[in-house]
Every structure is written in C-alpha cells, then in structure tokens.
RNA sequence: GCCCCGAUAGUGUAGCACGGCCCAGCAUCGCGGGUUUUCGACCCGUAGACCCGGGUUCAAAUCCCGGUCGGGGCACCA
C-alpha cells in the first residue's frame, strides 16, 4: 500500500479554517501602497450602536492590512436639523476607546476651509463649476427636473470669479448664491444634475465661530479630502452612493487615483430606537440622566452596562458588507456578551422589592454558595443569618411568593427546603436540607436575601427606570466595575459603590 | 415622474465574478432531551430557505430575459 499509493496513507492536509470567519479582501489592494481609511462621524453626540457598523468595519480592515485610520470630524456647518455639538468632540473619541478603535490621526473639516476654497476657485477657472444665483426652488422645478441649464451655467469665467468673491465678501446674502459642479444637466439621473458644492451660511460654528461664511457640502469636501488625505478605501452606508459618484466626478477632473468605494445597507434594531437628535434633546432636558443612559444606546451606555466591546464587534463583523437593509436584534449582542463574559461573572442574590418571609426552625447561622457554579475553585460566598428571638426574616421576590401554594414545599437556593405555612403574612417552616427533597416533588428553587445584613441596590434598567432592592451582604466588598450575574434576574455591572450600590442591568 | 440598488430558513450570513463538489454550509432563535441547587452556562438531537415565471445548458442558488416585492437617491443636511 505504502508503495502503490502513499498519498492515501497520509493524513490529508486539511486547511484549518480560521476560527474567525474572514471578511472578503479589500479590492484593488495592489493599486495602493498602504491601506488608508477614515471614520467620518458627524459630531452631534457619542457613537451609538447603529454607528458601530461603520466604525468596526473600517477599523477591522485597517488592522487587517496594518493600515492607517484617520478620524475626520465631519463638522461642516450642517443645517437647522443637523447641528454640531461641541461635546461630541470628546464623546466620540470616548466611544472609540471603548470599542478598541485606535485612530492614527484626527482631522477637523472646519480647519480645512482654505483648502476647499482653493479648489473651488480652480474648479471655476477650469469651467467645471459655476456660481448660480437662481432661487433654489425655481432651479429645481425649471432646470433640474427638466434637465435644462440655467443662464448662470454659461456665464464666462471672470464673471464667475467675481460672483465667487461676492459670496465670500458678503455681497450675496444667505441662499442668494451657491457654487454648482457641472456634473451634467443632461444626466438621466436627476439626482446627479449640477449639484451644489458650496453655499453661504451665516451660522456661527462651534469651533471656528464666524470665520467663514461659505461652507462646502459633504460630497465636495470629501471629493477633495479623500484625495488630500490619501484615502485608499471607503466603507460607508449606501445612503451615500450619490455622493460617491460626485466624488468620482471630481477625482476624474483632476485625474487623481480613485479610492475604492464600498457601501453597506441600512441597519435597524428591532428592539432599540436609535435617534441621536432625540437622545441629545432628552439629555439636555434631563429626561435621560446622561449620555450613558441606556436609552441613548451609546457606546458609553453599553460600557456602563458591562457589554464587552468584542460582542459588539463580533456582531457587526458577522453582518459583513451586504447592501441589503437589515433588521437585527440586540439579543445577538447579548448572546455574544454572555459567551464572552458569563465565565468571569460572579453570582450574587438580588431581590427587587422583597416581601419578607419569616423562616422558622432553621438551625444554621450562615449559607455557603459558590461564587461561580462552573468554577468551584473560585471559592464560596457566605451569607450570615441573624435570628431575632429565634426568628429569621428572609426577603424573596413577590412574584415567587405568588406562585407558591400554602403547604407546598420550596427551596431557598443553597440553604434549605421549607414548607409555606402562611401566605398572607408569609411564614415558612423548615422542612429539610437535602436539595433532592424539593427536586423529587418538583418544587421551586428560589433566590433570597436575609433581612439583616443585606445591602440596598439600585438597578438601572434598560428602559431608563431604576428599581430598588437588596443584595446579599457580600456585594459590599465587590469592586466597582464588576460584571456579575444576579441569579435568576440577569447580568449587571456595578458602577458605583455606597448605599445603595448602583448597578446597571445588562441583559 | 426620473435614476440606482437589492432579494438564500423567524433573524443574520456563506456560496453567486470562474454553472456541477449545494437535494445549499454556519450562527442565532424555535422545539425535544440531558446536565446543573439560577429563568445563566454546558451537552446531544431536531425542524426550517435559494422571490416568481420563462430561457440557455447534460447540469442553474449561481448565466440571460421578464415580472413581483423591498430599499435608497432626486436638499444651498450629513
């Protein structure tokens, strides 16, 4: 056999697939000496879970090819609806830190107006752009829709330069003139006909004040900057494909190398409403308690809840680069988080709004429970039991008491089995120690806390409400920042010590 | 109205550029069972999809044509 067909004896060299499913290669890598990508958030607040796709995808590829990642604050003047918020310049880097994203360089669009002006003049001189003083509404109905050029389009270059000066010096008021790029009035796509690339705005800018009154539009500023910054690959949402086409038009005029454009579809969460403007309003008005309020779905809020950034990254990467609009559930993030963090999370008892139960005849002075059921080597937690006149007060969840029938047997987890004597004024009598006694009859095993020694806990829920309750005494010594599991309640993270201890519910 | 894009199980995704290895893989959810002193974790099993119609071909999830449905753009927003 060995001589006839030795290859059959050898173990086939199975190519072991990478643990992590790799995304597709970036296109045309050979065209570029280095992968350079950029993150371009509009600074109106921290990054939220919906922005994570853009961030994670770009960061992933930069890391994969050892490239450069540039953070570019897209802080042009915006509009009445889109307003730059100064604190976002700090909140966004904070969000990125959480996600483990490292930007090699930070750039502000609002620092680059002179550059945009320089190219604007050049474009006008080349006859590729013109200053249009038509009313926006009239231009839309009479020219764009019909594909008919307006008179401004055919004005000579000196006249256009003169008009440009008038835009800068204030002769033209807001909305009275704008620079249009000659993308073509005969373009079959009305969206592509001679788009405005610079316009007048007298609004004060939070960073540069009233220094400039002519501001670029996104597609123009990027047409210049993607080249100036040496960007090789662009990954962005598909709502920007028209802008991409306009950028390509600009790159063609100058015969610049064309960065690779890639788009992904819209991402919605079935169980989270994402609105940065609404969140901003609620934070300012104090309805939300801050940018780390879970209702903002900001990175800060996820961090506070103890969501591992790698859970977010994993989910985002799993979505890939598809153009389809998708709707996913936060449950997938939670599922990943559980995988990542369940093993580290110590267990504890927490009872919300406890009802007090009098436990009779128990002859133990403490309970011993495992810190983590899967890792007994991590030791035990002790819950001391104090008796007053031979009586022991135990707090249990109202919903658990409700399900119990008088006379039935139940177990206080890791302590003992009891028979419910009285439900109205809750009283239970010691039945037995062995867990099997309750298992055999299918009785419930519930969590509990002793009245004496427990510590009060405020648990911030995902819907913004805060619930009060008590946790076992040992929680006093649990460090701030600990991600733990309240048994039968869910995972949470302690973010503040004291009385009460404050924790944020994760999932 | 005009232009562009997309369509694989409940949800998401792989495969589609070079048709056969795909009676379609993976994850999650569902269901059943096991284990566990949690409604957590773990283990085993199970169910579930190529939008429709035509064409090309020995062979189509993959190519072509037509349709349907869905999304986006048509701002002096980003």
Residue A416 CA to residue A485 CA, distance in Å, equals: 22
CA A182 vs. chain centroid, Å, equals 38
Q: What is the pLDDT of residues A104-142, one digit of tens each?
A: 999 999 999 999 999 999 999 999 999 999 999 999 999
Rounded CA-CA distance A36/A69 in Å is 6
* Share of residues in chain A with pLDDT > 90 (%): 82
Which residues 473-502 on A are within 7 A of strand B at the CB atom? 485, 487-488
What is the DSSP code (8-state) at residue A66?
T
Distance in angstroms (rounded) separating the CA atoms of residues A187 and A246: 12
Residue A344 CB in 7 A reach of strand B: no
- CA-to-C1' span, A2 to B68 (A): 61
Task: Give the model's confidence band at A25: pLDDT under 50 very low, under 70 low, under 90 confident, else very high.
Answer: confident
Cβ-contact A75, A110 below 8 angstroms:
yes
The three-state DSSP-derived secondary structure of A390-401 is CEEEEEECHHHH
Given this structure, which CATH class describes domain A347-505? mainly beta
The Cα–Cα gap between A496 and A101 comes to 26
pLDDT at residue A5 greater than cutoff 70: no
Chain A 378-437 residues whose Cβ is under 7 Å from strand B: 397, 399-400, 411, 413-415, 435
Helix or strand (DSSP H, E) at A277: helix A276-285
* Mean of pLDDT over chain A: 91
Structural Rg of chain A based on CA atoms: 32
The tens digit of pLDDT for each residue in A157-190 reads: 999 999 999 999 999 999 999 999 999 999 999 9
Q: Closest nucleotide (CA of A193 to C1')?
A: B74
> Can you tell me which residue has the tokens 């801050």?
A290
Within chain A, what is the greatest distance between any pair of CA atoms?
101
Residues 209-228/A with CB within 7 Å of nucleic chain B are 215, 217-219
| Residue A340 beta carbon within 7 A of nucleic strand B | no
Residue A74 CB lies within 7 Å of the nucleic strand B: yes
Write down the residue that tokens 């028979």 correspond to: A419
Q: For residue A273, with 0-12 CB atoms within 10 Å meaning exposed, 13-18 middle and 19 or more buried, which class applies?
A: exposed
Q: Is the CB of A144 under 7 A from strand B?
A: yes
A331: helix, strand or coil: helix
pLDDT in tens, A356-408: 999 988 888 999 999 999 999 999 999 999 988 878 999 999 989 988 888 89
- Which helix H or strand E contains A327, and what residues bound it? strand A326-328
3-class secondary-structure state, position A295: helix
Domain boundaries, chain A: 347-505
The residues with which A469 forms a beta bridge, in sequence order, are: A352, A457
Which pLDDT tens digit goes with each residue over A260-282? 999 999 999 988 888 888 999 99
- SS3 of A4, please? coil
* Segment A448-474 mean pLDDT: 95
Q: Residue A249: how many CB atoms within 10 A of its CB? A: 18
CA torsion through residues A260, A263, A264, A267, sign: positive
Return the H-helix or E-strand segment holding A459: strand A455-460
Shortest CA to C1' contact from A78: nucleotide? B77
Report the C-alpha gap between A99 and A479 in whole angstroms: 23
Per-residue pLDDT tens over the stretch A36-67:
999 999 999 999 999 999 999 999 999 999 99
User: Which alpha helices (DSSP H) does A126-240 contain, by range?
Assistant: 136-138, 157-169, 218-228
Q: Measuring CA to CA, which residue among A107, A82, A103, A108 is closest to residue A93?
A: A103
Task: Check if the interface score ipTM surpasses 0.95.
Answer: no
Bases in strand B with any atom closer than 7 Å to a protein CB: 1-8, 11-15, 28-29, 36-42, 70-78
CA A328 → C1' B66, Å? 33
Question: Is residue A13's pLDDT more than 70?
Answer: no
Q: How is the beta sheet containing A466-471 ordered, strand by strand?
A: A347-348, A483-486, A490-496, A501-505, A455-460, A466-471, A350-352
């Amino acid at each position: 056999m060995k001589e006839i067909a030795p290859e059959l004896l050898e173990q086939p060299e199975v190519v072991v697939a990478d643990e992590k499913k790799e995304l597709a290669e970036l296109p045309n890598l050979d065209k570029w000496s280095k992968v350079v990508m950029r993150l371009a958030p509009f600074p109106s607040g921290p990054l939220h879970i919906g922005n994570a796709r853009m961030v994670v995808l770009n960061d992933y590829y930069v890391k994969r090819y050892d490239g450069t990642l540039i953070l570019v604050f897209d802080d042009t003047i915006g509009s009445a609806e889109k307003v730059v918020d100064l604190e976002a310049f700090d909140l966004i880097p904070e969000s990125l830190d959480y996600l483990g994203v490292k930007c090699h360089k930070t750039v502000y669009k609002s620092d680059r107006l002179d550059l945009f002006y320089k190219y604007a003049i050049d474009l006008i001189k080349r006859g590729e752009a013109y200053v249009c003083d038509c009313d926006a509404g009239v231009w839309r109905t009479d020219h764009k829709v019909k594909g008919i050029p307006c008179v401004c389009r055919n004005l000579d270059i000196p006249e256009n330069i003169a008009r440009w000066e008038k835009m800068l010096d204030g002769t033209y008021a807001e909305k009275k003139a704008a620079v249009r790029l000659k993308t073509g009035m005969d373009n079959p796509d009305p969206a592509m006909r001679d788009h405005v690339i610079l316009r007048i705005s007298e609004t004060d800018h939070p960073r540069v004040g009233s220094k400039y009154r002519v501001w670029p539009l996104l597609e123009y500023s990027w047409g210049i900057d993607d080249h100036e910054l040496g960007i090789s690959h662009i990954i962005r949402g598909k709502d920007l494909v028209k802008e991409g086409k306009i950028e390509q038009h600009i790159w063609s005029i100058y015969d610049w190398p064309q960065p690779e454009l890639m788009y992904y579809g819209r991402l919605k969460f079935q169980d989270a409403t994402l609105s940065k403007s609404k969140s901003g309003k609620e934070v300012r008005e104090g309805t939300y308690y801050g940018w780390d309020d879970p209702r903002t779905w900001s990175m800060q809020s996820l961090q506070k809840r103890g969501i591992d950034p790698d859970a977010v990254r994993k989910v985002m990467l799993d979505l890939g680069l598809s153009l389809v609009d998708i709707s996913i559930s936060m449950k997938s993030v939670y599922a990943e988080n559980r995988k990542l963090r369940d093993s580290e999370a110590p267990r504890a008892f927490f009872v919300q709004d406890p009802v007090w139960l009098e436990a009779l005849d128990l002859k133990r002075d403490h309970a011993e429970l495992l810190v983590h059921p899967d890792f007994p080597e991590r030791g035990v937690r002790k819950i001391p039991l104090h008796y007053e006149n031979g009586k022991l007060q135990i707090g249990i969840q109202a919903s658990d008491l409700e399900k119990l029938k008088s006379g039935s047997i139940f177990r206080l987890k890791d302590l003992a089995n009891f028979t419910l004597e009285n439900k109205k004024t809750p009283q239970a009598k010691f039945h037995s120690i062995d867990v099997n006694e309750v298992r055999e009859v299918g009785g419930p095993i519930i969590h509990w806390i002793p009245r004496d020694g427990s510590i009060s806990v405020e648990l911030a829920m995902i819907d913004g409400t805060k619930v009060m309750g008590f946790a076992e005494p040992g929680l006093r010594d649990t460090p701030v920042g600990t991600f733990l599991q309240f048994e039968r309640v869910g995972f949470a993270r302690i973010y503040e010590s004291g009385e009460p201890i404050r924790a944020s519910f994760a999932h």
